[in-house]
């Protein structure tokens, strides 16, 4: 076998091995806020990412700061990922109404709720306010970055 053919076969084998190797850092599961299972991804970029379909599908919206109105993603979100930087204002309160109104849920830094259609995530803060206890799926209008998730 010629050296050129041997190199081609070796490169092909390496490409096939890389194609079928698992990527564990992007799919590791951790216990997140309030005992929910969330996906933790490797590298923070400072943004809150949301997708209109579960598991990173559909239209994406993302914000680096607060948002009073989610525009094209308002009430259309089924995947939420807090990829903010760790330390100070790294949790995100998610509100049922524009301008941080109504009840809210909170997602901690690094947490990802990749499929909110499962009815696992709810607005648990703000008893007595509009939307309290409702599912977050397709029901978020605004958000605020906060220091930590707490009853407030």
* CATH number of the domain to which 84 belongs: 2.60.20.10
Q: Is the residue at 18 inside a domain?
A: no
- The beta strand positions in 57-149, using DSSP E, are 57-63, 79-83, 91-97, 101-107, 112-113, 142-146
Predicted TM-score (pTM) of this structure: 0.72
Closest CA to 27 of 46, 42, 12: 42
| Spatial contact of 121 and 136, defined as CB atoms under 8 Å apart | yes
What are the distances in angstroms from CA 95 to CA 14, 30, 39, 42, 62?
A: 48, 24, 22, 27, 16
Please check whether residue 19 lies inside any domain of the structure: no
Q: For residue 19, give Cα distances in angstroms to 5, 6, 14, 23, 96.
A: 21, 20, 9, 10, 42
Q: Is residue 14 included in any domain, yes or no?
A: no
Residue 1 lies in a domain: no
Helix (H) / strand (E) containing 13: helix 3-20
How many helices and strands (H and E) does the chain possess? Answer: 1, 9
The verdict on residue 22 lying in a domain is no
pLDDT tens, N- to C-terminus, the chain (152 residues): 454 444 344 444 444 343 333 332 222 222 233 333 344 445 899 999 999 999 999 999 999 999 999 999 999 999 999 999 998 899 999 999 999 999 999 999 999 999 999 999 999 999 999 999 999 999 999 999 999 997 55
On whether residue 84 sits in a domain, the answer given is yes
Neighbours of 143 (CB within 10 A): 25
In whole angstroms, give the CA distance from residue 146 to residue 38: 19
Answer yes or no: is 134 within a domain.
yes
Residue 135, domain extent: 28-146
Closest of 107, 115, 137, 118 to residue 55, by C-alpha:
115
Q: Count of domains in the chain?
A: 1
The reply to whether 12 falls in a domain is: no
């Amino acid at each position: 076998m010629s050296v050129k053919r041997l190199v081609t076969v070796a490169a092909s084998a390496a490409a096939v091995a890389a194609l079928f190797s698992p990527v564990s850092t992007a799919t590791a599961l951790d216990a997140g806020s309030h005992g929910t299972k969330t996906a933790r991804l490797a590298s923070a970029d400072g943004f809150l990412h949301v997708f209109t379909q579960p598991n990173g599908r559909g239209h994406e919206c993302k914000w680096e700061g607060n948002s009073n109105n989610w525009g094209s993603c308002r009430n259309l979100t089924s995947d939420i990922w807090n990829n903010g930087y760790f330390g100070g204002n790294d949790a995100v309160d998610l509100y049922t109404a524009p301008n941080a109104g109504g009840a809210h849920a909170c997602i901690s830094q690094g947490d990802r709720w990749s499929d909110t259609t499962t009815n696992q995530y709810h607005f648990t803060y703000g008893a007595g306010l509009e939307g309290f206890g409702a599912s977050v799926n397709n029901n978020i209008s605004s958000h605020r970055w906060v220091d930590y998730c707490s009853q407030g």
